[in-house]
């Protein structure tokens, strides 16, 4: 009699660690560590579940030995200094939404207008930013500079100055960074006979000081400044915010109070332009990916990397600045930057009563008129590239005040010029074209006019982590709604997100004939192929499509694979796969061509 084999023993599943207590989930990674300490204190930003809980929050902070800081109503929050032992008590309170470290934020022209075309915008189209309020959240602004003077009234074109560092009542800039940024946006070039004119010399400046004399500040200062912007946007016609500063990324943009404050500003219809950061290379000079700072890591802001005009007005020789931070973002693995603009050797205003006037004395420049101090300073950084874009946005909004933040970002990306030598995590949608962006903004105001176009435009959007192209932007679509986050997969009412139209011929952008239909997420372009993310497929030794894929949805990295795959291709000419292991680095290349250069993604 044959005997049957015994059934395989069923082993019990291995024991699972208990989930972390709910209060621990309310703390950012740094505060989780500090909550275990019984000494010391921390500067924090605490968000309440709603505005009606702010009084109870203030009482609890004081009852646990904390000191109240400024209220941050834009995020239903409060800045405070609290003992580390009190962090669990604060986090367990039901009316507390989240606690974050009040971390440090730091400040991250002659040829620039000609390179991006803003001089033509002023001369031929007649736009100079007049009537548009631009908020500059930075280190302040000099009390007087000829290039910021209003010829009609002989007063400074600073509509408002508010000091969130020292509470001074009159304008000053003890660091000098904010004065330089203000000049890039709206300097009129008086001390150089117009040669060093800013991008939108007719714009009005609302200067909010959040950075001190040493070039640093806390994110609560910036949040308070954003709160001021939203509260005064109508009275001061604030349409743009310039953030030439960056903080480290320690948590998701869905939890970070700084990025959430920026989201509130965008939801209020204000365009927020932020620096990508200057972390494009490590100490050894190697290219680094993953260095985008906050709030530039958030999808709702326009994040600007830096290019170099190479000392010429010819766009053909422009390059990416080696220091410019590249994506993807830490924690969320989001595609950034959105585009790049000139940020190397940018000549703008100096302040003789500032730290930079002394520490950067080798880069001071004279003007063409007599002045008691050297009026100009040459600086490099994404801090300089950001106001180039903010000034361009002022031109666009003067041309078409009805533009929403999403429409502004779409136009900037669509008209940007991508360079084949760079991937989208380096250049975003491409190099800024201010003239093209303003022309397309005009079309949005009068869509019956001929559609502007150029062979240099990328005609693409980096919509979240999708690269979509092949269509024509149109003004009356749901993608431009202020309540729709950039990169969303569906619009209100669970409708498809639509950006414009596509047609069956390759000359769609110039009004070609054919079958027209909606241009929406997931639809094929004119060639009938699905959208591709990060580049194109290729098979040669000089392949540039490192972030390409044959998958129809086009997503490459950021998967939830248990093995921790992050990005890459199986192509020998592309980048090898990396893992999110304990070493925290994704690096290497399997390219066999001698010209292939290794890349490094610094991951924390």
Same domain for 134 and 88: no
pLDDT (average), residues 127-152: 93
Instruction: Give the tens place of pLDDT for each residue, 222-256.
Output: 999 999 999 999 999 999 999 999 999 999 999 99
Q: Decide if 222 is inside a domain.
A: yes
Same domain for 365 and 224: yes
pLDDT at 267: 97
Per the listing, tokens 């090898």 go with 576
* 3-class SS of residue 87: helix
Per mean pLDDT, which of 188-192, 261-265, 454-458, 504-508 is the most reliable?
Answer: 261-265
Q: Which of the residues 28, 119, 128, 138 is marked catalytic?
A: 138
> Does residue 199 have a pLDDT over 80?
yes
Per the listing, tokens 């400046």 go with 205
Q: Decide if 63 is inside a domain.
A: yes
pLDDT at 512: 46
Quick check: is 138 catalytic? yes
Q: Which of the residues 42, 220, 308, 383 is marked catalytic?
A: 383
* Owning domain of residue 510: 460-520
Query: Which residue, among 176, 76, 134, has the nearest Cα to 387 in the 3D structure?
Result: 134
Q: Decide if 368 is inside a domain.
A: yes
pLDDT at 248: 94
CATH number for the domain including 82?
3.30.70.80
Same domain for 96 and 165: no
pLDDT at 156: 86
Q: Decide if 78 is inside a domain.
A: yes
Same domain for 393 and 352: yes
> Does residue 551 have a pLDDT over 60?
no
Quick check: is 102 catalytic? no
H/E run at residue 435: helix 434-445
Same domain for 130 and 66: no
pLDDT at 561: 32
Same domain for 145 and 273: yes
The mean predicted confidence, pLDDT, of the chain is 83
Same domain for 249 and 397: yes
> Does residue 377 have a pLDDT over 90?
yes
> Does residue 187 have a pLDDT over 70?
yes
Report the domain count for the chain: 4
Instruction: Give the tens place of pLDDT for each residue, 165-180.
Output: 999 999 999 999 999 9
Quick check: is 232 catalytic? no
Q: End of a domain among 384, 406, 428?
A: 406
Q: Decide if 75 is inside a domain.
A: yes
pLDDT at 37: 85
> By the 8 A CB rule, do 99 and 93 touch?
no
Q: List the structure tokens of 411.
A: 């136009």
Distances (CA, A) of 600 to 252, 382, 427: 22, 20, 16
Lowest average pLDDT, out of 55-64, 355-364, 469-478, 547-556, goes to 547-556
pTM over 0.75: yes
Same domain for 143 and 94: no
> Does residue 577 have a pLDDT over 90?
no
Query: Which residue, among 260, 262, 256, 290, has the nearest Cα to 276 in the 3D structure?
Result: 290
Q: End of a domain among 361, 388, 406?
A: 406
Instruction: Give the tens place of pLDDT for each residue, 44-53.
Output: 999 999 999 9
Same domain for 503 and 381: no
pLDDT (average), residues 335-344: 95
pLDDT at 111: 65
Q: What is the dihedral of CA 227, 229, 232, 234, to 10 degrees?
A: -130
Q: Which of the residues 53, 118, 145, 177 is marked catalytic?
A: 177
pLDDT (average), residues 520-544: 39
Burial of 439 (0-12, 13-18, 19+ CB in 10 A): buried
Q: Decide if 540 is inside a domain.
A: no
Same domain for 215 and 173: yes
Q: Decide if 117 is inside a domain.
A: yes
The pLDDT-based confidence of 209 (bands split at 50, 70, 90) is very high
The pLDDT-based confidence of 55 (bands split at 50, 70, 90) is very high
Q: End of a domain among 369, 390, 406?
A: 406
Same domain for 574 and 488: no
Q: Decide if 165 is inside a domain.
A: yes
Same domain for 112 and 95: no
């Amino acid at each position: 009699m044959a005997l049957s084999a015994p059934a395989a023993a069923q082993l019990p599943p291995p024991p699972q660690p208990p989930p972390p207590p709910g209060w621990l989930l309310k703390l950012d990674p740094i505060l989780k560590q500090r909550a275990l300490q019984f000494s010391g204190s921390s500067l924090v930003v605490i968000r309440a579940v709603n505005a009606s809980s702010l009084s109870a929050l203030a009482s609890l902070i004081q009852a646990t030995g904390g000191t109240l800081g400024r209220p941050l109503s834009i995020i239903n929050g409060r800045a405070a200094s609290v003992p580390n032992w009190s962090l669990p008590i604060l986090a367990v309170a039901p009316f507390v939404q989240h606690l974050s470290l009040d971390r440090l934020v730091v400040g991250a022209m002659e040829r620039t207008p000609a390179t991006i075309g803003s001089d033509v915008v002023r001369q031929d189209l007649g736009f100079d930013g007049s009537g548009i309020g631009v908020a500059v959240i930075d280190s302040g602004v000099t009390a007087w500079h000829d290039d910021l003077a209003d010829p009609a009234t002989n007063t400074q074109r600073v509509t408002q100055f508010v000091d969130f560092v020292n509470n001074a009542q009159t304008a000053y800039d003890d660091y000098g960074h904010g004065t330089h940024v203000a000049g890039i946006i709206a300097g009129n070039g008086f001390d150089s006979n117009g040669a060093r004119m800013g991008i939108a010399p007719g714009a009005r400046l609302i200067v909010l000081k959040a950075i001190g004399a040493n070039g640093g500040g806390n994110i609560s200062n910036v949040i308070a400044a954003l709160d001021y912007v939203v509260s005064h946007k109508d009275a001061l016609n604030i349409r743009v915010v310039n953030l030439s500063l960056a903080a480290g990324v320690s948590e998701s943009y869905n939890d970070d109070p700084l990025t959430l404050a920026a989201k509130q500003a965008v939801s209020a219809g204000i365009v927020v332009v932020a620096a990508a950061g200057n972390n494009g290379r490590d100490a050894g000079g190697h290219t680094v990916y993953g260095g985008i700072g906050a709030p530039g890591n958030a999808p709702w802001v326009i994040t600007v990397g830096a290019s170099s005009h190479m000392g010429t007005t010819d766009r053909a020789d422009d390059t990416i600045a080696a220091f410019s931070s590249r994506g993807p973002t830490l924690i969320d693995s989001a595609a950034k930057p959105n585009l790049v603009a000139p940020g190397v050797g940018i000549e703008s205003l100096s302040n003789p009563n500032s730290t930079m006037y002394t520490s950067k004395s080798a880069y001071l420049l004279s003007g063409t008129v007599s002045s008691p101090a050297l009026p100009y300073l040459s600086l490099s950084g994404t801090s300089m590239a950001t106001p180039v874009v903010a000034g361009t946005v002022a031109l666009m909004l003067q041309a078409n005040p009805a533009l929403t933040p999403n429409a502004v970002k779409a136009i900037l990306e669509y008209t940007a010029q991508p360079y084949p030598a760079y991937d989208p995590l380096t250049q975003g949608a491409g190099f800024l074209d201010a003239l093209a962006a303003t022309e397309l903004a005009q079309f949005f105001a009068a869509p019956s006019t001929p559609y502007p176009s150029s062979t240099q435009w990328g005609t693409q959007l980096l919509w979240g982590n999708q690269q979509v192209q092949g269509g024509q932007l149109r003004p009356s679509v749901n993608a431009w709604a202020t309540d729709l986050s950039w990169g969303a997969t569906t619009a209100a009412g669970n409708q498809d997100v639509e950006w414009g139209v596509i047609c069956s011929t390759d000359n769609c952008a110039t009004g070609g004939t054919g079958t027209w239909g909606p241009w929406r997420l997931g639809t094929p372009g004119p060639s009938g192929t699905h959208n591709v993310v990060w580049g194109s497929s290729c098979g040669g030794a000089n392949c540039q499509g490192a972030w390409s894929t044959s998958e129809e949805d086009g997503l490459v990295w950021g998967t939830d694979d248990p093995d921790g795959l992050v990005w890459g291709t199986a192509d020998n000419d592309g980048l090898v796969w990396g893992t999110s292991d304990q070493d925290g680095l994704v690096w290497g290349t399997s390219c066999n061509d001698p010209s292939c250069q290794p890349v490094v993604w610094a991951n924390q």
